[in-house]
Every structure is written in C-alpha cells, then in structure tokens.
Structure 1
Amino acid sequence: MKSAKRDLLVLTKKVSINEKELQLEVEKLHDLLFHVESMDNFCIANEIIDLNKYKIIENPIKIRRLISSNKLQPFQFINNKN
C-alpha cells in the first residue's frame, strides 16, 4: 500500500504512548482510510444533481464516469447523501 501524505491527529486515553504503539496506530488508520476513501465508496455515498436536465444521478457507474471526466458541466453538483 502506498503511504498517504496526510496529517493525522491521534488522541489516546493513555498519558504516555511509546513510538511503536503510535506507529502501529497510524498504520491502522492509514489502512482503514485507504479502504474507506475508495472511488467505489465515494460513488455510493454521493449523487450528482443535474439542473440542466432536472435529474438526480444515483447510479455509481454514471457518477464515476462523470467525475472521471475533466470537469462537470455548469449546474451539475456533487451532493453527499449523508
């Protein structure tokens, strides 16, 4: 797995934590985020509102195709379903 370049703030209930425990915790978080932030999960959790055609696109394959293109057309919005 490729190392992600991100800033993480890790809060623990322990007063002191050694470097190995911290490194293990960060690796677990990277692994979890790697799977959660996939394009498949993104397409499932979002929809595209197309005001040009007055449609809401919920099909993950169509969402992937629209997002993979260079840019959305004017008045096409990505909306999170949550």
Structure 2
Amino acid sequence: MKTPNRDLLVLVKHALDDNEAMERELNRLNGLLMDVETSATFSRVFEVIDCNKLKVFCDTKRIMQTITQGEKGFVFLSNKN
C-alpha cells in the first residue's frame, strides 16, 4: 500500500516506547481514512445550498463540481449532520 503524504497528530494517554507499535497504529489509521475519505462518502454527508437559484443539491456530481471549481457568491456547502 502506498503511504499517503499527510500529517497526523495522534495523542496517546501513555508514552509508547515501541516505535513498531506506533507505526502499525498509524498504518491502520491511514487505511481507515483512505476507506472513509472518498467522494461518495463525502457527498453523502454534505449538500450544496444555492441561494441564487433557491435550490438544494444532494447529488455527488454537483457537490464535487462546487468543491473543485468553486461557485460565485451565495452558494454554500452544508453538512447534513
């Protein structure tokens, strides 16, 4: 598996002297994040609110288009949570 280029801040309750255990934990965490951080998952939890057209978009294509290209004023990305 390719190692992602990201910075992670991992807080542990006790100091780990075993570097291999910490490396395994970081690899597991990276694997979990790679599974979760997909466009399908992202579009399931967000929606685009377009105040110019008075519409709410929930489809993946429109959400990803808004993120990558940006929109003119009064278009918002809202978390459904």
Q: Is 1:23 matched up with 2:20?
A: no
Shift of 1:9: 2.5
SS at match of 2:4: coil
Letter of the 1:58 counterpart: C
Gap runs ≥5 in structure 1: none
Aligned to 1:78: 77
Moved over 6 A (4+): none
Q: Output the TM-score relative to the length of structure 1.
A: 0.80
Give the TM-score normalised by structure 2. Answer: 0.81
1:14 deviation in Å?
4.8
TM alignment of 1:34-73, pairs within 5 A: 34-68=34-68, 70-73=69-72
Equivalenced residues, count: 81
Alignment gaps of 5+ in structure 2? none
Cα RMSD (Å): 1.9
SS in structure 1 opposite 2:29? helix
Sequence identity (%)? 36
Q: Is the 8 A contact 2:48 2:63 kept in 1?
A: yes
